[in-house]
Amino acid sequence: MRGFMDLHEGQKGRARPSQDRMESRARFKRLVREKRDLVREYRRASPEAKPRIHTKMQDIDEAINAELMQSRLYADGYRKSDLSRYYRHIAFARPISMAFSLLLWGLLFWFAGASVTLQIIILLLAVVSTAGSAFELSFLRRVRNRILLPVEELERGVGEIARGNYDVSVEASAPNEICALVAAFNGMAGKLKEDEQTKAKYEEGRKALIADISHDLKTPMTSIGGYVEALLECDDLSEEKRRRYLRIIAGNTDYMDRLIDDLVLFSKLDVQKLDFHFERVDVRPFLRDMMEELGLDFEEQRILFSYHDELGEDASASLDAKRFHQIIRNITGNAVKYGAREGLAIDVRLYRKGASFCLDISDNGPGIPTDKLPHVFERFYRVDSERTKSFSGTGLGLAIAEELAEAHGGCISVASEVGKGTCFTVSMPIAADKAIGVEA
């Protein structure tokens, strides 16, 4: 009985008087009416009067939120009152039931000299009362263990989540609906914790992005400012130096343009407001033209480049040519950025796999460490965290490439070995009328 009484003491709590609830409800209705009237007044008000009305509306919103919070407190009080009554019943039912059974058995011995009929009646009542008491005590114990305690734990868990602690788990072993509810609660808590971690990680990445972009923009701007100042103040500069300074200024300006373009594109992808213009293209001639253009660019940079068409047959796909070109550019640009300055080689192979065409883009660069490989498509992630001029990207290139590929219904995967190079595989679906009957 002591255990039941302890539970009862832990659940004590009184509900607020019903008069308070009625007054709170009346205040809430009055505030809602005032808010509605102010909204109508705001629509008809002049531009000069609107700020004053808007301020009143904000004050009423705060008052409404306060009343809603108070209503929740009332609801909590009534819930605790209900639990208190249940625990009180459990706490006092057992001794009363046992006392009644003992009384009947005592009467049986008291009337030991009475008639047999009376003794039989008292015996039957004592047996029935004892059996009923045993059943009731067993039932109440099951109610306590299977319903009240799990509900109490759920209440505790909800309170922890309300305070911002998502690392909470509720235990329930009984195979009933409460257990299913507890399992759903634990799943919700886990999802909230995961979302909070993702949010914190995203916020950390956002702060890192701001710091990196500030650094990346400040460096070329400082360089441009210095060379412009030299051009303005030095009248005796030779034509060769003047042209060299202008080329440096133009290069830094071009770099800042690319940086800003990446940020604008990323922000549009992030809010899903990037426009795509898909059209049916023949894959082989489309990629052949693209690879010829890439080959000319790599030739100027003294990068060995090769392209192999192993598709085997004509195929068509629905692509946004500009965005698909950007996917390939971001991947090959990453290879150039992290590859060797001398002897860098990039190889592209086109082939078919099931209902998709695939591009393997391989390089002979330094490769990516195994522990960093799963993170290369994460936003703001850099394989090399050192801030050097040659590695001054935003950390968005591969993340942008992956999101653009997914917008096409495709995907990008990567395989790498340190010291041997990296291979990115871009997979895109072939148009349905060309993919029928194709085996994986």
Same domain, 209 and 298: no
| 368-415 residue pLDDT tens | 888 888 888 876 666 665 444 444 455 678 888 888 898 889 999 999
Instruction: Read off the tokens for 367.
Output: 């490769």
How large is the average pLDDT for residues 234-261? 83
Give the pTM: 0.49
Same domain, 11 and 125: yes
What is the structure's pLDDT at 73?
46
* Residue 86 near residue 145 (C-beta atoms within 8 A): no
Same domain, 367 and 289: yes
15 occurs within a structural domain: yes
Mean pLDDT of the chain: 76
CA-to-CA dists, residue 2 to 5, 8, 83, 130, 146, angstroms: 5, 10, 18, 21, 19
Residue at a domain's end among 223, 245, 270: 270
Same domain, 205 and 159: no
Is residue 226's pLDDT more than 50? Answer: yes
| 396-405 residue pLDDT tens | 788 888 888 9
121 occurs within a structural domain: yes
What is the structure's pLDDT at 188?
83
Is 347 exposed, middle or buried, given 0-12, 13-18 or 19+ CB atoms closer than 10 A? middle
Total number of domains in the chain: 3
Is residue 425's pLDDT more than 90? Answer: yes
Is residue 423's pLDDT more than 90? Answer: yes
How large is the average pLDDT for residues 278-290? 92
Whole-angstrom Cα distance, residue 317 to residue 320?
10
How large is the average pLDDT for residues 74-103? 58
Whole-angstrom Cα distance, residue 328 to residue 6?
69
| 157-178 residue pLDDT tens | 777 777 777 778 777 766 667 7
The position carrying tokens 């003794």 is: 119
Whole-angstrom Cα distance, residue 350 to residue 283?
10
| 184-211 residue pLDDT tens | 888 888 888 888 888 887 777 677 767 7
Same domain, 310 and 247: no
183 occurs within a structural domain: no
* Residue 314 near residue 284 (C-beta atoms within 8 A): yes
- 362: domain CATH number? 3.30.565.10
Same domain, 284 and 266: no
Phi-psi map region of 345: left, alpha, beta (phi>0 left; psi -120 to 50 alpha):
beta
Is residue 128's pLDDT more than 80? Answer: no
Same domain, 241 and 155: no
